[in-house]
Chains A and B, each alone.
Chain A
Amino acid sequence: MEMTLSPTQAAICEACTTILRRAAGPARARELRAEGGADGRLLDLLADAGYLDLALNAETGPLSAALVTELAATHLALAPIGVRSLVVPAVAPAGDLPNLVAIVDAAIPGPVRYAAEAEALIVIDGHEARILQAAEFTATAASTLFGYPMATVELHGKGVDLAPGSGDVARRWWRVAIAAEIAGTARAAFDLTSDHLIGRVQFGKPLAAFQAIQHRMMETHVLIEGARWLAREAAFHGAPAERAASAALAAAEAAGRTLFEVHQLSGSIGFTNEYDLTLSSLRLQALRVEAGGAAGHSKALVTGRWL
């Protein structure tokens, strides 16, 4: 057991941060919000630098991929980095897929993140999974408030079957990816809110000096930290079903609490477009319902642990 980043891990995080500071962040997120679509440019930058292929590298491994996923979310990256760096290597290790990949579970209705932008789509169907190329599905953009480009999907082609059992594998890594993304996104919302509370004076003192506010923020912090480390742990252990579900459920619960608290404690400025909070906060709502949401993660957890 070792909870401190190794020099390699620290170097990866540092180099990634440099790229993300330049190519992602609030300004870029605003640009994309205006333009619509996903950040293909960022995805290519990270891919070219090798940061999306850490999972299969013997020197680094899936934990490093989870760290990058978390970090990218903290920097408000708007691209399917978790799917590309954690799910794809697990089900399609040959490395012949495009960078922009979306994922859907055929049993779960509703719009799909990045489906309209995706060059390929992983379709989970029970225990199995297959990959459809862009020509094999139609994605109709859905209007949502929640920060990601989303689209409803209609499948035409059969696509290419992945190895037997890939549906289960994809689902497990998808949960780890979501957990890491939530941990990073919630951290961004939390940090921005902390700064606001320290800087904003009401009743003659900073809001952060009010005990009720402190307690709510710290309870939220504890939930985010739990989700973050459970996500890392699940990635390290290869996303076993129970651990992946536990991380995803911890993250979904943390996301719900964070979303509620950051908006409540930021007051009305939190809802304005001039302020950065919604760039992270609203994404939490999309992430916490993905892959079946709390109900789906709970079922996977209970099945994995007790059945």
Chain B
Amino acid sequence: MCSGWKHVDKGERVHFDYSDEELSFRKELKGFLDGELPVYFEFFDLPQQERFDRSMEFVKKLAARGWLTPAWPVEYGGSAHAPWQQMILSEEMIAHGEPRTGQYMNVNWIGPAIILAGTPEQKEYHLTRISNGNVVWCQGFSEPDAGSDLAALRTSAVRDGDEYVINGEKIWTSNAGVAEFCFLLARTNSEARKQEGISIFLVPTATPGVEVGDIDAVVHPGAFHHVVFTDVRVPASCRLGPENEGFTIVRKLLANERVGVARYHRAAGYLDRVAKWCDERGLLDDSSVIETLAHARVACDAARVLVYQVWDERTRGLHPDESAWVYRTAAVNAERAVSEAAFKLMGAEALVRHSHADNQFEWATTAGIAGGSYEMQLNSLARVLLGTKG
């Protein structure tokens, strides 16, 4: 039997094999998750309080196994695993309904931001809690008039002796209802150019003057909040990094936020279920069904192989920009293609609330907006590849 050949050399080169260590990590992780969670479990389908309670309980188990912050340096509660292990973690988590819920942000970029710019006291306090899985954070970035144009934010932090006084409003803050801390961007210099007067504050949400409200959203109901800050006083020690240099820190770490959760992997999982649905109805020999499924699958595959560039750069200690923009664009394509395939193939059944197709529709609709809009990724890419502004 002719089987062609397969190259087996695994030297240092472009190669697409996971190491034995990575493979056994995935196997062990998957075994653990399969045991803990039912098939196709979705944390996002749970009511908010239950989601929070179950997630807290679950994340502690992860932390106990060293799987919450495996890629962090050992001195900050990590195991210094290679970034690829973090990618595997990210894929397996989302394949099991993302049981970390909001805490994935802590791991992906809030913790790394503190590692990058925190004082020894901040590191000691926050990183320990994050790596133990004991704390939920929310992200205070967007404002009503500062969405894509993040640097236009107006929330102010005015120095008053040893304190800052914060006033303003943040929107789209996921998990604000249950978060203990807010990673807040605020303006500390209103005279400077708009990117240059911004600082980061690590604000306890229990501070007087912080008020959280729900955004009445039609997708992921209960997931989004707005947070109003009225004369909120925090000690100057809550500031992360130098005054007015918050944007530089955030920009470095936004690449991690852009990669976010392994969206392509969840979308591919949904598509497998759509294909199964079609197969059960004997539709897999229809050419239009075949082309619809294949088109969506390729979109997921492309996003997967493009995220490798991002992880590769991270492995080499870089902060990926261009590759992250390319990946984000491809991931949005994947989310949309799977959603479209589900609707096209499943018809009215795709409309039933909380069906897989309906869930995928919500992800697809928010994918191109949350965490930096699709158009912003294209703008940034064009700036690099075509040398243009804007």
Contact = CB atoms under 8 A, between A and B. Distances in A.
Whether the complex brings A and B within 8 Å at their CB atoms is answered yes
Q: Which of B6, B18, B302 has the most CB of A within 10 A?
A: B302
B303 A306 contact: no
30 contacts: A3-B14, A3-B312, A4-B14, A9-B13, A9-B14, A55-B7, A56-B5, A164-B2, A165-B1, A165-B2, A165-B3, A169-B2, A198-B386, A214-B378, A218-B329, A222-B333, A225-B306, A225-B330, A226-B305, A227-B302, A232-B14, A236-B7, A236-B14, A236-B16, A253-B295, A253-B298, A294-B294, A299-B287, A302-B293, A305-B297
Interface stretch (A30-38, A204-212, A283-291): A204-212
B326 A4 contact: no
Interface string B210-236: 000000000000000000000000000
Interface residues of B, number: 57
Interface stretch (B49-57, B112-120, B169-177, B271-279): B271-279
Given A3-B14, A9-B13, A230-B301, 18 more contacts: A1-B15, A6-B11, A8-B13, A61-B9, A62-B5, A63-B15, A93-B5, A162-B2, A214-B378, A215-B382, A217-B382, A217-B385, A217-B386, A218-B329, A229-B302, A229-B306, A236-B15, A250-B298
Given A61-B7, A93-B5, A246-B297, A221 B385 contact: yes
A90 interface: yes
A295 interface: yes
A218 B16 CA distance: 26
B80 interface: no
A42 to B, nearest CB: 25
B240 to A, nearest CB: 32
Interface residues of A, number: 68
B375 A215 contact: yes
Nearest to B83: A1
Contacts of A63: 7, 13-15
A227 B301 CA distance: 9
The 3 closest A-B pairs by CB, nearest first: A226-B302, A61-B7, A6-B13
Given A250-B302, A306-B275, A222 B18 contact: no
A100 interface: no
B13 A198 contact: no
From B4, B16, B387, name the one whose CB has the most chain A CB atoms within 10 angstroms: B4
Interface in B82-137: 84
B20 interface: no
B9 A58 contact: yes
Contact of B308 (A9, A229, A297, A301): A229
B162 interface: no
A163 B4 CA distance: 10
Interface centre among A1, A62, A249, A297 (most CB of B within 10 A): A1
Contacts of B1: 163-165
Interface in B191-206: none
B4 A90 contact: yes
B35 to A, nearest CB: 26
A89 B15 contact: no
A206 B18 CA distance: 45
A253 B3 CA distance: 28
Contact of A246 (B298, B308, B385): B298
Contacts of A3: 14, 308-309, 312
A211 B14 CA distance: 34
Interface in B1-56: 1-7, 9, 11-18, 22
Nearest to B1: A165
Contacts of A56: 5
Contacts of B16: 1, 232-233, 236-237
A52 to B, nearest CB: 16
A2 B13 contact: yes
Contacts of B293: 298, 302, 306
A8 B294 CA distance: 35
Contacts of B287: 295, 298-299
Nearest to A206: B388
A5 B11 CA distance: 11
A238 B301 contact: no
A197 interface: yes
Given A225-B326, A250-B298, A169 B9 contact: no
B383 to A, nearest CB: 9
Contacts of B290: 295, 298-299, 302
Interface in A6-44: 6, 8-9
A194 interface: yes
Contact of B14 (A5, A215, A223, A230): A5
Contact of B279 (A55, A164, A299, A306): A306
Contacts of B329: 218-219, 222
Contacts of A233: 16, 305
B2 A249 contact: no
Contacts of A90: 4-5
Interface hub of A91, A164, A249, A307 (most chain B Cβ within 10 A): A249
Nearest to B82: A1
B303 A226 contact: yes
Contact of A4 (B312, B375, B385): B312
A301 B2 contact: no
A253 to B, nearest CB: 7
A298 B294 contact: yes
A89 B5 contact: yes
A237 B14 CA distance: 12
A211 B284 CA distance: 41
A1 B305 CA distance: 11
Nearest to B305: A229
